[in-house]
């Protein structure tokens, strides 16, 4: 599938903050009327609460670093979640969860993470050759680039194009209301980059900043934009601007070589490194001891 092998970053506790565990994400959730739990005793971990089928309460901890899973589960129970199923999606492999009776649901995936602390020369040199060639091609096409705060407008062309694409390809991303709430609740932290061929928008990227990091959130390129390699030029512009603003890393999201090989090549072509996540687990206190043997059977799949 790929003619190069991206490096893999080590899972270190001092790596950058993740979007789902950021203060900015917390602001967006509250702006939509949600009331997540914040665990001050666990480095302010954000815990979402959702109800399924109108009766089942579920707690979710997404992309958090769980250095002490036992303590996390103890605190959740102390917070009144003793009989509530807890879905855990750690930022890094956390094999101790199996020993505590958590049952694996989804094996670990990988995200692409781009280091923005390097100089422009080093970032350009790190681009894959084909990616760099497309960037050079785009730079000669006379495209006009703009950068602005994301308008709080559900009818913006990027948002409507993304919704149509989700429906066409059968996947789901953030609710539109949450994206708009993020832009409204975090002034200047949702940046929209657009490329125009004349007056026609041919590509756009929405990047969400959080702390000293950023996440590639939504992007769309028209057929004309693809012919002009506009996506590559916009990504390079976003990378350069974020670096100049002092951002350390850009999270490019999940790598899926089976369903989206072209997007995976695009992300890895930026010079990003692979980072392995911790998979998805469920811990249900009333069933913990009963399910513990099943959890241990799947430790290898979950990266133990």
Going by pLDDT thresholds of 50, 70 and 90, the confidence category of residue 291 is: low
More confident: 87 or 296:
87
Residue 29 has pLDDT above 90, yes or no: yes
Going by pLDDT thresholds of 50, 70 and 90, the confidence category of residue 45 is: very high
Best CA proximity match to 163, nearest among 152, 174, 178: 174
Domains by residue range for the chain, with CATH: 36-109+277-297 (no CATH), 111-276 (3.40.630.30)
Residue 2 has pLDDT above 60, yes or no: no
Q: What is the pLDDT of residue 76?
A: 92
More confident: 135 or 165:
135
DSSP state of 5: -
Summary mean pLDDT of the chain = 89
Q: What is the pLDDT of residue 14?
A: 37
Residues whose CB falls within 8 Å of the CB of residue 51, separated by 6 or more in sequence, listed in order:
57, 58
- Give the start-end residues of each E strand in the chain: 37-39, 45-52, 56-62, 86-89, 103-106, 110-115, 144-149, 190-197, 200-210, 213-221, 249-254, 273-276, 280-283
Residue 132 has pLDDT above 70, yes or no: yes
- The residue assigned the tokens 């040199």 is 125
Q: Please state the φ and ψ torsions of residue 7, each to the nearest 5 degrees.
A: -70, 160
pTM comes to 0.89
**Other CB atoms closer than 10 Å to residue 255's CB: what's the count?**
20
Helix (H) / strand (E) containing 236:
helix 230-244
Three-state secondary structure of 44-106: CEEEEEEEECCCEEEEEEECCCCCCHHHHHHHHHHHHHCCCCEEEECCCCCCHHHHCCCEEEE
For residue range 181-236, list pLDDT tens digits in order. 999 999 999 999 999 999 999 999 999 999 999 999 999 999 999 999 999 999 99
Q: Which of 72-76, 132-136, 155-159, 248-252 has the lowest mean pLDDT?
A: 72-76
Q: What is the pLDDT of residue 5?
A: 47
Percent of all residues in the chain with a pLDDT value above 90, rounded to a whole number: 72
């Amino acid at each position: 599938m790929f003619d190069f092998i991206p490096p893999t970053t080590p899972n270190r506790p001092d790596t950058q903050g993740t979007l789902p565990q950021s203060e900015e994400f917390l602001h967006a959730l509250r702006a939509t009327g949600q009331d997540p739990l914040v665990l001050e005793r666990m480095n302010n971990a954000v815990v979402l609460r959702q109800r399924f089928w109108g009766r089942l309460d579920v707690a979710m901890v997404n992309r958090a670093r769980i250095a002490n899973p036992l303590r996390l589960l103890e605190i959740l129970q102390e917070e009144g979640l003793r009989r509530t199923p807890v879905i855990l999606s750690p930022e890094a492999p956390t094999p101790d969860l199996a020993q505590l009776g958590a049952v694996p649901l989804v094996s670990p995936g990988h995200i692409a993470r781009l280091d923005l602390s390097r100089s422009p020369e080093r970032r350009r040199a790190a681009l894959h050759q084909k990616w760099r060639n497309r960037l050079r091609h785009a730079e000669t096409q006379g495209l006009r680039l703009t950068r602005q705060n994301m308008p709080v407008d559900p009818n913006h062309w990027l948002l409507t194009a993304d919704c149509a694409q989700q429906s066409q390809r059968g996947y789901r991303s953030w609710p539109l209301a949450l994206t708009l709430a993020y832009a409204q609740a975090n002034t200047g932290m949702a940046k929209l980059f657009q490329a125009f061929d004349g007056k026609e928008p041919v590509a756009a990227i929405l990047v969400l900043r959080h702390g000293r990091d950023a996440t590639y959130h939504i992007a769309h390129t028209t057929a004309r934009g693809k012919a002009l390699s506009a996506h590559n030029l916009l990504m390079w512009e976003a990378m350069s601007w974020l670096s100049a603003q002092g951002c350390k890393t850009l999270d490019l999201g999940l790598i899926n070589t089976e369903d989206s090989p072209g997007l995976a090549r695009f992300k890895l072509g930026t010079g990003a490194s692979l980072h392995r996540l911790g998979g998805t687990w469920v811990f249900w206190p009333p069933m913990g001891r009963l399910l513990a043997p099943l959890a241990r059977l799947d430790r290898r799949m979950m990266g133990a």
